[in-house]
């Protein structure tokens, strides 16, 4: 699907922004990127436009594109919306989730547990992502699933940050268990509440982390 050069470049640029190569506020020069990727400006521009629409960078007409630093307030808002979307997913999933999907959630959680014991943050993160993706899928609403994946992906770097907090991995694990239990019981409201809390906590932890690290960042 992503056959076009510009699409590949867009993904590359996204990774470069996520891993901090291009920090917030940095200008993305078209010709520099063109030489860097050994292509002309055309695919670069298309890639930048994609990133603009997805909200990762900001395009100021006749001025250039700059990587957008979402700002603490906006990030908290995004976590709040994520929590609500996941709550909807869980509520819908509780009504129709299949036994094999529950098994999948449980085995994913087991692998999560192993990652926690091995202090493997990356491993935990991978399994955590899988866990949530399963819930989205089990909502039975493909559009909702896509929207959840989109927002989840957008919050990825910030979510990752918050996971580094002391004891957060273990706490997150326990929350996952509660979610699976509620889903298994077919209790949509409980599942929704559990996952909403799970994500809301992420937002709060992130908020705490940022406000302590950068006391007065603009």
Partner DNA sequence: AAAACACGTCTTGTATACAAAAAAGTTGAC
Partner DNA sequence: GTCAACTTTTTTGTATACAAGACGTGTTTT
Q: Which residues bind a copy of itself (CB under 8 A)?
A: 1, 3-4, 45-46, 49-50, 53-54, 61-62, 74, 77-78, 80-81, 84-85, 88, 141-144, 147
Which residue in 90, 106, 101 sits closest to 193, CA to CA? 90
Query: Judged by CB, which is closer to a copy of itself: 83, or 183?
Result: 83
Give the pair of three-digit tokens for residue 1: 């699907």
Query: Closest separation between CB of residue 42 and DNA, Å?
Result: 4
Query: Judged by CB, which is closer to DNA: 40, or 107?
Result: 40
Query: Judged by CB, which is closer to DNA: 58, or 120?
Result: 58
Query: Closest separation between CB of residue 118 and a copy of itself, Å?
Result: 35
Query: Closest separation between CB of residue 141 and a copy of itself, Å?
Result: 5
Query: Judged by CB, which is closer to DNA: 44, or 199?
Result: 44
Query: Closest separation between CB of residue 77 and a copy of itself, Å?
Result: 4
Helices 41-54/5-18 angle, 10° precision:
60
| Number of Cβ within a 10 Å radius of residue 210 | 18
Which residues of the chain form beta strands (DSSP E)?
A: 27-28, 57-60, 64-67
How far apart CA 75 and CA 42 sit, in angstroms, is: 32
Q: Counting contacts by CB under 7 A, is residue 65 touching DNA?
A: yes
Residue 181 binds: one of a copy of itself, DNA, none (C-beta under 5 to 8 A by kind):
none
Q: Counting contacts by CB under 7 A, is residue 29 touching DNA?
A: yes
Q: Counting contacts by CB under 7 A, is residue 26 touching DNA?
A: no
Query: Closest separation between CB of residue 68 and a copy of itself, Å?
Result: 13
Residue 54 binds: one of DNA, a copy of itself, none (C-beta under 5 to 8 A by kind):
a copy of itself
Long-range contacts of 205-212 (CB under 8 A, 24+ apart): 205/162, 205/165, 205/168, 206/75, 206/76, 206/79, 206/158, 206/159, 206/161, 206/162, 207/72, 207/75, 207/76, 209/161, 209/162, 209/165, 210/72, 210/75, 211/72
177 burial level (CB within 10 Å; 0-12, 13-18, 19+): middle
How far apart CA 85 and CA 164 sit, in angstroms, is: 24
Which residue in 69, 193, 87 sits closest to 144, CA to CA? 87
Residue 78 binds: one of DNA, a copy of itself, none (C-beta under 5 to 8 A by kind):
a copy of itself
Query: Closest separation between CB of residue 81 and a copy of itself, Å?
Result: 5
Footprint of DNA (CB under 7 A):
4-6, 27, 29-31, 38-43, 45-46, 59, 61-65
């Amino acid at each position: 699907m992503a056959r076009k050069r510009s699409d590949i470049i867009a993904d590359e640029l996204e990774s470069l922004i996520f891993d901090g190569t291009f920090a917030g506020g940095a200008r993305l020069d078209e010709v520099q990127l063109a030489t860097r990727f050994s292509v002309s400006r055309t695919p670069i521009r298309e890639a930048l436009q994609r990133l603009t629409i997805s909200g990762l960078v900001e395009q100021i007409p006749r001025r250039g594109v700059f990587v957008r630093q979402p700002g603490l307030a906006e990030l908290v808002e995004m976590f709040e919306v994520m929590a609500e979307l996941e709550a909807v997913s869980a509520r819908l999933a509780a009504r129709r989730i299949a036994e094999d999907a529950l098994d999948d959630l449980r085995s994913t959680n087991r692998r999560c547990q192993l990652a926690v014991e091995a202090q493997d943050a990356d491993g935990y993160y991978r399994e955590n992502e899988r866990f949530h993706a399963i819930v989205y899928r089990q909502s039975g609403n493909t559009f909702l699933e896509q929207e959840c994946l989109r927002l989840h992906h957008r919050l990825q770097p910030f979510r990752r940050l918050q996971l580094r907090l002391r004891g957060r991995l273990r706490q997150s694990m326990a929350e996952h268990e509660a979610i699976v239990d509620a889903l298994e019981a077919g209790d949509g409201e409980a599942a929704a509440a559990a996952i909403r809390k799970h994500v809301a906590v992420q937002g709060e932890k992130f908020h705490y982390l940022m406000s302590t690290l950068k006391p007065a960042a603009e």
